[in-house]
Amino acid sequence: MTTAVQPYRVTPARVLRSEWHKLWTLRSTWINLIATGLLTLGMGVGISAAYDGTGEGGLDTVVFVLLGTQFATINLAVLGILATAGEYSTGQIRATMTAVPRRLPVLWSKAAVLTAVAFALCLCTNLLTFPLAQAFLSDTDQSAALGDPGVLRGLAGNAAALTLLAVMALGLGAVARSVPIATGVYIGLVMILPEVLRMLPYAVVDDAIRYFPAQALQSATAAQSGSGAASPAAALLALALWATASLTAAAAILRRRDV
């Protein structure tokens, strides 16, 4: 008596495991994550060691220590874009979609894996960078402890905000299907467009800019909310909406276009 061979079944767990494996087998992933951590740590400690207690104009302590995360906004975005657009450039997307014909589980799995990796990296790096940097800031106006009001929330908020930016970039990569185009759109949206809009003499534009990605990132990072800035909760909500809009557009295009 022969036993019938069970056909291969595509399950969410298997798709998730596949995307996890693909991410970690790329050399670029390791280089990107190591560079992100080292740049954040090195810049935070370096700036703190060189700080003489003058000239920062009351910059929030957590924002000051985590200035190195400016590099993370690009590094993690590139990682997200490579996770989607990178497969189109290599042609691997055909094999991926053949294995998972429903397509959308691939997108959700990529986003979930990137979220877990980016948040864990950023949070651990922030929790290491802050106390090391504070060793050089004990006698300055930037002195603070992890237990001070808003500090831990700022460190975690920064990690969450950077993660949402990476997920937004992942969606842009799936929409553009091109690494250079997606990277250009991301940089334009995050770094250039807000500065262009600031030149418009309208109060409503200034109010809207505070919810753009880069400005929302700073608001989510600050231990104490500044005047004219979005609250940390509102900033994270805005970033979540940016990421959701990007993934929604990616899902719509993924279902309608051929690979």
Query: Contact 182/79 with Cβ under 8 angstroms?
Result: no
Closest CA relative to residue 130, chosen from 150, 110, 115:
150
Q: Ranked by mean pLDDT, which of 57-61, 203-207, 255-259 comes out on top? A: 203-207
Average predicted confidence (pLDDT) for the chain: 90
pLDDT (0 to 100) of residue 5 = 47
pLDDT at 8: 64
pLDDT above 90 covers a percentage of the chain that reads 64
Q: Where are the alpha helices (DSSP H) in 27-150?
A: 27-50, 61-65, 69-90, 92-99, 104-134
Residue range 99-155, pLDDT digits in tens: 887 889 999 999 999 999 999 999 999 999 999 999 998 888 888 999 999 999 999
Report pLDDT for 55.
Answer: 58
Domain assignments of the chain as residue spans, ordered by start: 23-50+58-254
At residue 7 the predicted structure's pLDDT band, cuts being 50, 70 and 90, is low
Task: Write down the number of H helices and E strands in the chain.
Answer: 12, 0
Q: Is 76 exposed, middle or buried (0-12, 13-18, 19+ CB in 10 A)?
A: buried
Q: Rounded mean pLDDT of 40-57?
A: 84
Buried b or exposed e, range 89-104, using 16+ CB within 10 angstroms: eeeebeebbeebeeee
What is the mean pLDDT of the segment spanning 22-39?
92
Percentage of residues in the chain having pLDDT higher than 70: 94
165-202 residues labelled b (16+ CB within 10 A) or e (exposed): bbbbbbbbbbbbbbbeebbebbeebbeeebeeeeeeee
Q: What is the pLDDT of residue 1?
A: 47
Alpha carbon distance 46, 61 (integer Å): 15
Nearest C-alpha neighbor of 37 from the set 147, 120, 156, 135: 120
Residue range 90-109, pLDDT digits in tens: 888 888 888 887 889 999 99
Residue 158 reports pLDDT greater than 60: yes
